[in-house]
Amino acid sequence: MAGCIIRKSLLGLLLMASTALQAAEVTGLVYGTVEGKPLALDLYLPEAKAAPLVVYVHGGAWRAGDRTAGAAFARRLVAEGFAVASVDFRQSTEAPFPANVQDIKAAIRYLRAKAAEQGYDATRIALTGESSGAHLALLASVTTGVAALEGEVGGNLEQSSAVQAIVSYFAATDLTTILAQSTPFGVGVREPALKLLLGDLPEQRPDLAKLASPVLHVDAGDPPLFLLHGDRDPQMPINQTLQMWGVYKSVGLPVTLDVVHGAAHGGDAFFTAEHQRQVVKFLQQHLRSEAVAQPGLQ
């Protein structure tokens, strides 16, 4: 009996190892070059071909971090059958807004252009991110065709930057209200970050702050949205997520709000089995082949 259990355990480990080997990770794919700086992404592919694609945007107050922050997130979704791309973009220390969102849109166009070569399904793309990365993911998702944000980085201009679903983790959504909603601690974090992003505080750059606010771009043609936010976040006001939820509800768009009780700004609480299950279910629902009748590819 003991020998049988050992053999079964070894068989399970071998099968797990085989599955891991069948997944592929392709790093450092350059999707564009700006003033001599290459912009790259990492691609994580499941064994199955024609998988839907999730594009991950890292956080870091728009000024820090890189695409490697998405590795653990990507591997969790690859295990669920999704392809994942984690993208770099110009930080606010290198170039002010809207350079970062233009880069993300360029990455999506590149990923569409390379779909046949890499084997995922570029008609089914979701965009996701955490914190400032979620802000950029939301903004890129609800501004398809807005010339000031599309840009021309990387070429592939015949491709659409539209996506078919969004998952937002504790995002900024309205830069015109974020400081008024923030705790003193949050103001201390946000003010220097916003000055780098916009060139000054939002009240001094109102037009740019509005352009950078996803809630002010939402219309009835935008993709389904899943929002997560901790109810003890000291840094990003939960009202930012509630605003986005309310705007989506007001125009009749599919939106799900998952308040993560006891959670602060990020951390493992957002990736428990239950929260992960809900996100995967949302992505499976809205990235099914039959659910994507080419919306957003206009």
- Tens digits of per-residue pLDDT, 100-134? 999 999 999 999 999 999 999 999 999 999 999 99
Which CATH number covers residue 209?
Answer: 3.40.50.1820
Q: Residue 229 falls within a domain, yes or no?
A: yes
Neighbouring residues of 99: CB distance < 8 A, sequence distance ≥ 6: 34, 89, 90, 151
pLDDT digits (tens, 9 = 90+) for 129-171: 999 999 999 999 999 999 999 999 999 999 999 999 999 999 9
- Is 297 domain-assigned? no
Domain presence at residue 3: no
If one counts the domains in the chain, the total is 1
Beta bridge partners of 56: 86, 128
Answer yes or no: are the C-beta atoms of 206 and 160 closer than 8 Å.
no
DSSP structure string for 188-216 = HHHHHHHHHHHSS-GGGSHHHHHHT-GGG
Query: d(Cα 196, Cα 202) in Å, to the nearest integer?
Result: 11
Place of tokens 């003010």: 191
In a domain, 92, yes or no: yes
Residue 250 in any domain: the answer is yes
Average pLDDT over residues 44-67: 96
Asked whether residue 112 is domain-assigned, the answer is yes
Let me know if 215 is exposed, middle or buried by CB neighbors in 10 A (0-12, 13-18, 19+): buried
Boundaries of domain holding 59: 23-291
Q: Tokens 């809205």 identify what position?
A: 286
pTM score over 0.75: yes
